[in-house]
Amino acid sequence: MRIALLGCGTVGGGVLRICRERVPELEVCRILTLPGELEDPLVTHDVADILDDPSIECVVEAMGGIEPAHGFLVRALEAKKSVVTANKAVVAAHFAEFMELAARHDVAFKIEATSGGGVPWIAGIEKARRVDDVTELSGILNGTSNYLIDSMERSGKTFGEALAEAKELGYAEADPSADIDGVDVQNKAIISATVAFGSLCRRDIPVLGIRHLTKPILDALEARGWSVRLLMRARQDGGCYAACVEPVVLSRASEEAHVPTNFNLATLVGQTVGELKFFGQGAGALPTGNAIVQDLLDVAAGEKPRYATAETLEWDPALLGAAYLFATNAPAPEGARLLASAEGSGTGKALSLVFGLDPVRAGELARAAAEADPETFVASFSDEAAASLESLL
Amino acid sequence: MRIALLGCGTVGGGVLRICRERVPELEVCRILTLPGELEDPLVTHDVADILDDPSIECVVEAMGGIEPAHGFLVRALEAKKSVVTANKAVVAAHFAEFMELAARHDVAFKIEATSGGGVPWIAGIEKARRVDDVTELSGILNGTSNYLIDSMERSGKTFGEALAEAKELGYAEADPSADIDGVDVQNKAIISATVAFGSLCRRDIPVLGIRHLTKPILDALEARGWSVRLLMRARQDGGCYAACVEPVVLSRASEEAHVPTNFNLATLVGQTVGELKFFGQGAGALPTGNAIVQDLLDVAAGEKPRYATAETLEWDPALLGAAYLFATNAPAPEGARLLASAEGSGTGKALSLVFGLDPVRAGELARAAAEADPETFVASFSDEAAASLESLL
């Protein structure tokens, strides 16, 4: 199959290397880059050289960002080229349009590399849906934030030290906001929920991040048998769905609490298969390149678009109801119960519990608290961790 | 697609229920059972009613055991029917013959349900091999033994109490020998290694079990930061391969050490994708039935046999070299270093370490020790757990 790459940075470079070294039936024929980015006889700086070339059957997009990626992919689909993309931002923003165009022009549109890097997560959801309704999703889909938490837990580093180390190792960007504020996971959650529930997920799902998670807060959690991870969560039931991104307090006996360094771990629940978890490298040139090459092999085998949004589920955040932890020096939310005072908690902040919130309401309360204490940290409790709450109060 | 079931116990019943309730395009047309096993108009007690019916395109075998399953499957393949089986014993014993027959008659032969129940483990290996060589495998593929260890660790039960509980819950059979002595995993390891390495795995791979793992031994491991699980391990490198089944001492920070109850967790390593782990229900009517139905959907989609054994790798157990723990009152093997005496270990047995063994040699030493102390327990160390050994001696 004749392929063109749009973008040849880390991920595009991984695709190029894997195709050339391992999968000769995938022939990279043209590479769109910015001037000065790459020396290769296949390079062009004019996307028309690719979109107007009828011999190119499939376009791999690894540019990132919304535009011009969105415009290029629309034109590629309209030119009846299959599309494989690693770009979570553009897919989360324009999923419906891409699916509609791919179906209309009878070409493939594949997105494995948008969510979970080398982890066969999107394919795992799709496969589960052949037999089951997928009723629940959750997962660690951001390696940077996991690296920070793991590093604080295992090596006793502060958040700042862990972040400096992650930047040195290339696990965090100079501006880590998208990773630590949950925006990166938000896009992956929207994509995963759309594929899993067969219904277009809204774009403004609630998000809480780990920017104000501190080593003392982690220590206070550990002393109670808990850990915390930044998770995507989603659920459907009775014609409704919800999805969110938030730090979740977990039992230290859970699999999630032991995900090391920058690995990902994502879970689906199906009615007959039960709970399935997928673990692997969520980023990096070769793992993410591998995910794209796997998509390309499916396209080369004649696979047509499979993502369906036949369902129209209603948004109901109550499906993700939980107890929430507030670590803040702001006045506690109404109905909060004190777990430990600012003096007694060892964290410099009072730790309070609020039962019976959903992610939307929790976000409102978190923002209200952040007005008085900008370093407020808020997390939900997993069912397993919540089981131990009553005995602590 | 018109299907017949050979056997309709737990797994066959799961397949029947899933097809009837969820996947109407898979039409179960005939069911072979023993007299008195099932009341259903589709039941026959004569396999010829299935094998001689040209309208039946695919046979699902969920009888278990070697014969008559082996003969039935040979006849089905010769009659140009695709075969989907959950029977690890017959596949481990006759894999090459089944693959050869399926290729010759251009039909499918699928085995997802033999290894890891509902976990998409075999499909995961096959998919990884489209891009990478799979260089390493490991995993918890026996829910019964995992349940016993988890129950001892979490609830403080003795081995006998945990086993009684597992029998009550249906997680262990009246005679649990195949599960606790590693024979069940041996078949799964042979199948997994054959698929992963593309080379027929020998049948007599070394096996050590957990029959003589005691709660005091687990406590002694836990005090040193370790857990233990019954693992399949396999590796290929430089034209050679090895595979084994043995208890492995793991860091308590590992994912494997936190696999709960009767779940499975299996890991592969590929060159570009890195480490991938698959977690889920390794047994049970619906998860295992789900694995079979997934295979059936692939067959219905026209998929042909994919397992290849083009490679001919040489057996070299040194690929799985490790340090081993001996918990025994027999004289310690030559070169052993004492970790704790029988008096000091709290286990009633001396704990010794032997470095630089492979699974074959370790098995020989384990059997020699068992002549003096039949309750000898032997386990290898994972690389992570072994890293802490020198500081303990």
Domains of chain B: 2-110 (3.40.50.720), 132-281+312-393 (3.30.360.10)
- Separation in Å, CA of A183 to nearest CA in chain B: 25
Q: What is the pLDDT of residue A309?
A: 78
Instruction: Answer yes or no: is pLDDT of A121 > 70.
Output: yes
Task: Read off the pLDDT of each residue in B201-211 and give the average, rounded to a whole number.
Answer: 97
Would you place residue B69 in the very low, low, confident or very high pLDDT band (cuts 50, 70, 90)?
very high
Contact state of B257 with A258 under an 8 Å Cβ cutoff: yes
**Per-residue pLDDT tens over the stretch B158-182:** 999 999 999 999 899 999 999 999 9
Length of chain A: 393
**d(C-alpha B221, C-alpha B149), whole Å:** 12
Task: Read off the pLDDT of each residue in B246-274 and give the average, rounded to a whole number.
Answer: 97
Task: Read off the pLDDT of each residue in A94-104 and give the average, rounded to a whole number.
Answer: 96
Q: What is the pLDDT of residue A305?
A: 67
Contact state of B287 with A297 under an 8 Å Cβ cutoff: no
Residues of B in contact with A290 (CB under 8 A): 131-132, 270, 272-273
Contact state of A277 with B278 under an 8 Å Cβ cutoff: yes
- Separation in Å, CA of B22 to nearest CA in chain A: 6
Nearest by CB to residue A294, choosing from B130, B253, B277, is: B130
Contact state of B18 with A272 under an 8 Å Cβ cutoff: yes
Joined together, the tokens standing for residue A122 give: 């999107």
The residues facing B281 across adjacent strands are B263
Would you place residue B314 in the very low, low, confident or very high pLDDT band (cuts 50, 70, 90)?
very high
Question: What's chain B look like in SS3?
Answer: CEEEEECCCHHHHHHHHHHHHHCCCCEEEEEECCCCCCCCCCEECCCHHHHCCCCCCEEEECCCCCCCHHHHHHHHHHCCCEEEECCHHHHHHHHHHHHHHHHHHCCCEECHHHCCCCCCHHHHHHHHHCCCCEEEEEEECCHHHHHHHHHHHHHCCCHHHHHHHHHHCCCCCCCCHHHHCCHHHHHHHHHHHHHHHCCCCCCCCCECCCCCCCHHHHHHHHHCCEEEEEEEEEEEECCEEEEEEEEEEEECCCCHHHCCCCEEEEEEEECCCEEEEEEEECCCHHHHHHHHHHHHHHHHCCCCCCCCCCCCCEECHHHHCEEEEEEECCCCCCCCEEEECCCCCCCCCEEEEEEEECHHHHHHHHHHHHHHCCCCEEEEECHHHHCCHHHHC
Q: Answer whether A261 touches B (CB < 8 Å).
A: no
Contact state of B255 with A279 under an 8 Å Cβ cutoff: yes
Size of interface A-B (CB pairs under 8 A): 127
Residue with tokens 């004019």: A46
Instruction: Answer yes or no: is pLDDT of A307 > 90.
Output: no
CB-CB contact of A85 with A28 (8 Å) = no
Tell me if the bond preceding B68 is cis, omega within 30° of 0. Answer: yes
Q: Is A53 exposed, middle or buried (0-12, 13-18, 19+ CB in 10 A)?
A: middle
Q: What is the pLDDT of residue B311?
A: 76
DSSP-derived pairing of the beta strands B58-61 and B134-140:
unpaired
The amino acid that residue A45 corresponds to is H
How many whole angstroms from its chain centre is CA B351?
28
The residue in chain A having the minimum alpha-carbon distance to the alpha carbon of residue B128 is A294
Q: What is the pLDDT of residue B303?
A: 86
Q: What is the pLDDT of residue B111?
A: 98
**d(C-alpha A206, C-alpha A225), whole Å:** 27
Contact state of A274 with B18 under an 8 Å Cβ cutoff: no
- Separation in Å, CA of B126 to nearest CA in chain A: 12
Nearest by CB to residue A275, choosing from B127, B257, B280, is: B280
**A188, A215, A277, A349: the active-site residue:** A188
Among B360, B355, B359, which residue's Cα sits nearest to residue B325?
A: B355
The residues facing B264 across adjacent strands are B280
For an interface test with A, the pick among B10, B15, B131, B262 (most A C-beta atoms closer than 10 Å) comes out as B131
Contact state of B22 with A254 under an 8 Å Cβ cutoff: no
**d(C-alpha B46, C-alpha A108), whole Å:** 46
Task: Read off the pLDDT of each residue in B189-193 and give the average, rounded to a whole number.
Answer: 98
Would you place residue A146 in the very low, low, confident or very high pLDDT band (cuts 50, 70, 90)?
very high
Residues of B in contact with A154 (CB under 8 A): 253
Q: Answer whether B134 touches A (CB < 8 Å).
A: no
**d(C-alpha B94, C-alpha A350), whole Å:** 64
Q: What is the pLDDT of residue A392?
A: 78
Among B3, B43, B7, which residue's Cα sits nearest to residue B23?
A: B3
Q: Which of residues 21-60 of B touch A (CB under 8 A)?
A: 22-23
Q: What is the pLDDT of residue B307?
A: 79
Q: What is the pLDDT of residue A234?
A: 98
Q: What is the pLDDT of residue B393?
A: 75
Instruction: Answer yes or no: is pLDDT of A306 > 80.
Output: no
How many whole angstroms from its chain centre is CA A82?
24
In which region does residue A344 sit, left (phi positive, over 0), alpha (psi from -120 to 50) or beta (all else)?
A: alpha
- Separation in Å, CA of A237 to nearest CA in chain B: 17
Local structure of residue A207 (DSSP, 8 states) = B
**Per-residue pLDDT tens over the stretch A359-368:** 999 999 999 9
Contact state of A276 with B18 under an 8 Å Cβ cutoff: no
Q: Answer whether B290 touches A (CB < 8 Å).
A: yes
Task: Read off the pLDDT of each residue in A284-295 and give the average, rounded to a whole number.
Answer: 97
The residue in chain B having the minimum alpha-carbon distance to the alpha carbon of residue A150 is B253
Q: Answer whether A2 touches B (CB < 8 Å).
A: no
| pTM over 0.90, yes/no | yes
**d(C-alpha B22, C-alpha A130), whole Å:** 9
Contact state of A260 with B253 under an 8 Å Cβ cutoff: yes
Buried b (16+ CB within 10 A) or exposed e, B106-142: ebbbbbbbbbbbbbbbbbbbbbbbbbbbbbbbbbbbb
**d(C-alpha A230, C-alpha A259), whole Å:** 12
Q: What is the pLDDT of residue B310?
A: 77
Residues of A in contact with B271 (CB under 8 A): 286
**d(C-alpha A262, C-alpha A280), whole Å:** 9
Task: Read off the pLDDT of each residue in A241-253 and give the average, rounded to a whole number.
Answer: 97
**d(C-alpha A337, C-alpha A327), whole Å:** 12
Would you place residue B305 in the very low, low, confident or very high pLDDT band (cuts 50, 70, 90)?
low
Residues of B in contact with A278 (CB under 8 A): 276-279
Contact state of B272 with A287 under an 8 Å Cβ cutoff: yes
